Amino acid sequence: MDAISVIRAKRDRHPLTEDQIDWIIDAYTAGTVADEQMSALAMAIFLNGMSRAEIARWTAAMIGSGERMDFSSLPRPTADKHSTGGVGDKITLPLAPLVAACGAAVPQLSGRGLGHTGGTLDKLEAIPGWQAALSNARMMDVLREVGSVICAAGDGLAPADKRLYALRDVTGTVEALPLIASSIMSKKIAEGTDSLVLDVKAGSGAFMKTAEDARELATTMVELGADHGVRTVALLTDMSTPLGRTAGNALEVRESVEVLAGGGPSDVVELTLALAREMLAGAGLPDADPARALADGRAMDVWRRMITAQGGDPDAPLPTAREQHVLTAPSSGVLTRLDAYAVGLCAWRLGAGRARKEDPVQPGAGVELHAKPGDLVVEGAPLLTLHTDTPNALGYAEAALEGAYEVGTADDFTATPLLLGR
């Protein structure tokens, strides 16, 4: 077998055989297929797609490229959640301790942000002392003692995906359905959770721009989960406007703590509870009441213990950016649109995200929203606050917001439901 024949096959729209898929994933993991060859193949897949059978084999090969974790020694059923990524998506932070407070074990292996979408680990690293890297043994201890853990996936888990994801990010091949589905599901299946809830986002701030594409991605991933014995459910959710009122690392931690304290923005609370109910049902705990665990402080207790177990200080003040710049409403009326992608790009340019994997992020940088679509705004009153440590980035960041919001009348506004389907 050789890489060129595999690339040619996909370039010429032939389905890849099982042998071709197994060989290329194996050889790429071993380093005998070069990055330029894999990027040509990724582009051919992006352009010509893959059948469900090819995606299933590709996913199995990526799982087989590394180790599999095993949580069967835990006394509680495991439940995990994965979001396909969005702007202001801090849901994992309140969700993992909430579901643990209701009786499931939540091993949440999370990632860092790349491009305009934020990453859970970057957000949590805004908490002084908090550590993302845990050994497998320490991860099991935290799960046993606390019930939830949010940490980085070890190098041994789906290493083919690790290399391929970094390559896709710099070759314009991230937004390919077969590659997204296999990337996410290979990691989740290798992680060994009993059940999985997917938050598949649709809209300008998501990889899938339309609900139709998001539904196809969701169906593909649910089928992959079922193939491997993982009870998998997907919710389709709106990502045309940011979730909550903040996009940025420390800003989103602060908002998550508000939710854990029983407050916070209603959309973040709604989605946290919807995902919690699905996770608890998947874990065989359908009678648990997550709204109660949020209101009575049990979720907050688990949060505090989880942060402490990973070296963080839940009482430490969160970092703030050196500079704040307020943008005001251009006229009075109803905010009819606030675009998720533009806000994500703005936060990224302010320093909340990174351009390359190895870049640092500014913990205090980001965007604070003083109004959400449907809210009344008053001309000259604050609409958005931009936070950054690098004031010379402000002009470039503000340019991302050009045309991103509109103020009109109530008649111009159509509310989009947050939950688009299941």
Active site members: 82, 161, 168, 183, 187
Task: Give whichever of 85 and 203 is closer to ligand URA, judged by the CB atom.
Answer: 85
Cβ-Cβ contacts under 8 Å for 229 (sequence gap 6 or more): none
Among the listed ranges 147-155, 176-184, 303-311, 346-354, the one in contact with ligand URA (CB under 6 A) is 176-184
Q: Which of 59, 108, 183, 246 binds ligand URA (CB under 6 A)?
A: 183
Task: Give whichever of 124 and 157 is closer to ligand URA, judged by the CB atom.
Answer: 157
Handedness of CA 337, 342, 344, 349 (dihedral sign): negative
Side-chain-side CA neighbours of residue 144 (13 Å):
11
Q: Retrieve residue 309's tokens.
A: 């177990």
Strand 148-152 and strand 106-110: the pairing is parallel
Cα angle: 315, vertex 79, 180; to 5 degrees: 100
Helix axes 18-30, 3-11, angle to 10 degrees: 130
Does residue 302 interact with ligand URA by CB under 6 A? no
Does residue 65 interact with ligand URA by CB under 6 A? no
State the minimum distance, in angstroms, from the CB of residue 184 to ligand URA: 5
Side-chain-side CA neighbours of residue 223 (13 Å):
17
Task: Give the C-alpha separation, 296 to 18, whole Å.
Answer: 52
State the minimum distance, in angstroms, from the CB of residue 113 to ligand URA: 11
Task: Give whichever of 85 and 244 is closer to ligand URA, judged by the CB atom.
Answer: 85
Task: Determine contact, residues 41/72, Cβ cutoff 8 Å.
Answer: no
* Strands (DSSP E) found in 37-177: 79-83, 106-110, 148-152
3-state secondary structure of 220: helix
Task: Give whichever of 221 and 397 is closer to ligand URA, judged by the CB atom.
Answer: 221
Does residue 165 interact with ligand URA by CB under 6 A? yes
Cβ-Cβ contacts under 8 Å for 356 (sequence gap 6 or more): none
Q: Which of 24, 44, 62, 85 binds ligand URA (CB under 6 A)?
A: 85
Task: Give whichever of 42 and 299 is closer to ligand URA, judged by the CB atom.
Answer: 42
State the minimum distance, in angstroms, from the CB of residue 100 to ligand URA: 23
State the minimum distance, in angstroms, from the CB of residue 224 to ligand URA: 13
Of residues 301, 305, 235, the one with CA closest to residue 262: 301
Does residue 180 interact with ligand URA by CB under 6 A? yes
Does residue 184 interact with ligand URA by CB under 6 A? yes
32-48 b/e (C-beta count within 10 Å ≥ 16 → b)? ebebebbbbbbbbbbeb
Specify the DSSP element, H or E, that contains 254: helix 249-260
Task: Give whichever of 20 and 183 is closer to ligand URA, judged by the CB atom.
Answer: 183
Q: In what order do the strands lie in the sheet with 231-238?
A: 79-83, 195-202, 231-238, 419-421
Does residue 77 interact with ligand URA by CB under 6 A? no
State the minimum distance, in angstroms, from the CB of residue 305 to ligand URA: 27
Among the listed ranges 87-95, 180-188, 228-236, 329-337, the one in contact with ligand URA (CB under 6 A) is 180-188
Q: How many residues line the site for ligand URA (CB under 6 A)?
A: 7
3-state secondary structure of 44: helix
State the minimum distance, in angstroms, from the CB of residue 188 to ligand URA: 9
State the minimum distance, in angstroms, from the CB of residue 352 to ligand URA: 18
Instruction: Scan residues 253-282 and list those touching ligand URA (CB under 6 A).
Output: none
Phi and psi at 335, nearest 5°, equal -70, 110
Task: Give whichever of 206 and 384 is closer to ligand URA, judged by the CB atom.
Answer: 206
Residue nearest ligand URA by beta-carbon distance: 183
Does residue 84 interact with ligand URA by CB under 6 A? yes
Task: Give whichever of 164 and 273 is closer to ligand URA, judged by the CB atom.
Answer: 164
Residue type, 61: A
Among the listed ranges 146-154, 175-183, 331-339, 406-414, the one in contact with ligand URA (CB under 6 A) is 175-183
State the minimum distance, in angstroms, from the CB of residue 186 to ligand URA: 9
- Residue where the block lists tokens 């606050």: 385
Q: Where do contacts with ligand URA occur on this chain (CB under 6 A)?
A: 84-85, 165, 179-180, 183-184
